[in-house]
Amino acid sequence: MELREKILEVIGGLHTAAVATLDGNLPAVRFMLLMGFPDMTLVGGTMKSSRKVVQLEKNADVAIAVWSGKNITDPYVEIRAQVKIHEDIATKKKYWNPMFVPYFRSVDNPDFIVLHFTATEITYYIPSMRSREVWKR
């Protein structure tokens, strides 16, 4: 199986991911629900008023970790990415998921925005084999 296919087995579809930004000189990590796509991008929703958006406006570089989540020996990835913030209704509707209702109420919520992460580098790990491979855009 090619590296790209192995990575997509981990990031494809909806996943809980750890997303790290910079808060000044210190890292800030939070969990987000992200949807992974075959073009090695990930998309998630957040509140415009959140601290992470303030941090991302200052520095669009992020680190993301996604684990396949079944067994401790299963593969995981570490991703370096750039983020773009989207507030337009067309993008919000494109990526709206009914699972967002408890958090954002509706796609029309002005505080709901979309974060679009474009991976620049992805490291794929298999802990049980102590192996890693790196994909670069």
Q: What is the pLDDT of residues 70-119, one digit of tens each?
A: 788 889 999 999 999 999 999 999 999 998 999 999 999 999 999 999 99
In the chain, what are the domain boundaries?
Answer: 3-136
pTM greater than the 0.85 cutoff: yes
Q: Nearest-5° angle of CA 27, CA 45, CA 79?
A: 45
Q: How far, in Å, CA of 66 to CA of 30, rounded?
A: 12
Tell me which of 2.30.110.10, 3.40.30.10, 2.30.30.140, 3.40.1280.10 is the CATH number of domain 3-136. 2.30.110.10
pLDDT digits (tens, 9 = 90+) for 31-83: 999 999 999 999 999 999 999 999 999 999 999 999 977 788 889 999 999 99
| pLDDT for residue 72 | 83
